[in-house]
Structures are given as C-alpha cells and as structure tokens.
C-alpha cells in the first residue's frame, strides 16, 4: 500500500500522521511524566510505529482492502512500539 503512493501523497501522509501524533505525544508526555521520552521523540516513535506496522504487514503478504484497516493496523503498531519502548525505559530506570 505504501509503495504504491507517489512522493507527494506519501509526504502528505507522513506529515498528517506526524502532526496528529505530535498532539497525542504532548498529552502522553504530560500523563506519563518521566516515563515518556518528551513530545518530539514520542511523536517520532508513534509515526515510525504507524508506518512500520503498515509496511511490515504488507511485506508479510496481508493486503488491506480499505483505509480503515490500514489505519487500525498503523494505530496498533504505533502503540505497541510506544508501549514496548516505555517498558524498556521503565526497566532501565528501575535498574539504575
């Protein structure tokens, strides 16, 4: 799905997801406090997880028929990556 987009639509999609994830990242940073990475790194983590999950599912052969399936796949991937990295940071803080 991502490979079939031309450069302008791909940039539009990345910027849109990045803007929405930045707003969410500011809220998550306020909620999580020291457990989070800060608003900008949180937004980057969410964006990378979003597009990484869609790309990974496409590489595995899963075809997403409509936009809602792609968005749900991206959301699950972004929050899974964010949760994993917050757990890693919490474990690192616990050990030190």
Quick: pLDDT tens for 19-43: 999 999 999 999 998 888 999 999 9
Quick: pLDDT tens for 38-63: 999 999 999 999 999 999 999 999 98
How far is CA 88 from its chain centroid?
16
pLDDT confidence bin for 1, thresholds 50/70/90: low
Mean pLDDT, residues 1-10 taken together? 79
Number of domains in the chain: 1
Expressed as residue numbers, the domain containing 19 is: 2-95
Q: Is the confidence at residue 2, as pLDDT, over 80? A: no
């Amino acid at each position: 799905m991502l490979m079939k987009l031309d450069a302008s639509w791909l940039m539009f999609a990345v910027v849109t997801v990045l803007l929405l994830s930045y707003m969410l990242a500011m809220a998550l940073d306020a909620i999580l406090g020291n457990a989070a990475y800060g608003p900008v790194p949180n937004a980057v983590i969410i964006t990378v997880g979003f597009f990484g999950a869609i790309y990974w599912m496409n590489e595995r052969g899963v075809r997403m028929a409509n936009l809602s399936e792609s968005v749900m796949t991206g959301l699950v991937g972004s929050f899974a990556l964010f949760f994993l990295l917050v757990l890693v940071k919490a474990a690192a803080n616990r050990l030190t």
